Amino acid sequence: MTEYLLKDGRKLILRDPALEDAADMIAYAKVVGAETDFLLMDENGIEGLTLEGEEDWIRGTLAAPNTKMFLGFIGSELVLLCDVRAAARKRISHVGGIAISVKRDYWRLGVGSIAMQAMIDFAKSTGVLRTLSLEVREGNDRAIALYKRFGFAEVGRHKARINVSGTYYDEILMDLDLTAQE
């Protein structure tokens, strides 16, 4: 558990998930999914996800090498969920995919920057991960600016990959070369 001071003076606690967090994580996904069209989930959260499924996800995350999930709390409220997830297959185990979401009420307070730095620090600490990779929907300019600020660069696009209410958006692929930061 690590504590950070936000721009408004409140404290953000980052910690590993526990099985007891599963229900809150499912509820969180529904909240953030309803707040923005920039995520792959909507107000229904992650389609088909059950409490048992979320608990299995937590177990797998805690057991997987070169994988780390952070939950962010302000007081007792879950406001951030992010992770670095590396494949178990040897030929691609040096690449970690990252994902991040923050509740809308906590945007512009530095939560995303804290999470990005924590994920990068974790990735570097593994001694295995060489690249971090992410996908972001075109038009999500604040997120793209955050990623660029941390050194991510666009490496490609999936054209019209994301459909939001009948409008198609490109999915931008971005990478961070961790070896260039040593």
2-181 is classed CATH 3.40.630.30: yes
Domain chopping of the chain, boundaries: 2-181
**Among 80, 175, 92, 93, residue whose Cα is nearest residue 136:** 175
Q: What pLDDT score was predicted for residue 1? A: 87
Q: What CA–CA distance (Å, rounded) separates 87 from 130?
A: 13
0.85 exceeded by pTM? yes
pLDDT of 66 reads 93
10-residue mean pLDDT series, the chain (182 residues): 96 98 96 94 87 95 95 98 94 97 97 98 96 98 97 98 96 97 62
pLDDT of res. 20: 97
Q: Rounded to an integer, what distance in angstroms lies between the CA atom of residue 152 and that of residue 145?
A: 9
